[in-house]
Amino acid sequence: MRTEWSQLIREAKVLKRYRGRVRERLAILEYARTHSLCAAGLRFGLDRKTVREWRDRWRKLGVSGLIPRYPKTRPRKLPDRIIELIREARLGLGYGSTRTQLWLWRVHRQRIAQSTIQSVVRTLKLPPVRPVRKRRPKQLKLRIAKQTHHPRGAVPAPPPSRSSLPSPASLSFMPDRSDGRVTTPVRIPCIPRR
């Protein structure tokens, strides 16, 4: 019996990933033929209507009727309103998936995963976002001063040493009135040590 099934499966050119399922369904149909649809459903944990549907497809199409028929994509559970918001964020605002996710949460109070946003963009065939160069923080831009030749061997004066600067404690409050009373505190930036 099983050798006959293997031969039928090979002749029907069933894909390898579906061969096990087709064998199972053939075994269930064999059991249903000898007993009944209800008995086969109870034995294998299926609804009798499912077994009847497989039997009818077997009679019409043969082994190719037992190949699983899965949809290419599952139906989307997102409301149409959210899909339109994603379209607006991509086309109108030029947002990618991360910014769209933040925008949907902050403005519309809708939590949606980035992968869901990306799949919606793919299915709608929206254009990709033009990449934007990331800005570098100013403190990371280090410029190396070019060494210039000074005329007649003149050398620029070195920066003042730490000892020549007044202490921060003495500069924390400076009098701004003629009578010497302090009215406004003045903040002095700290000079980093080298």
The answer to whether 118 and 97 are in contact (CB under 8 A) is yes
**In 36-93, which ranges are E strands?**
none
Round to whole Å and give the CA distance between 147 and 174: 39
Asked whether residue 177 carries a pLDDT value surpassing 90, the answer given is no
194 vs 69, more confident = 69
Locate the domains of the chain by residue range.
2-66, 80-124
pLDDT on residue 53: 92
- Residues 50-77 have a mean pLDDT of 84
pLDDT digits (tens, 9 = 90+) for 146-161: 556 656 666 666 666 6
Asked whether residue 185 carries a pLDDT value surpassing 70, the answer given is no
pTM for the whole structure: 0.42
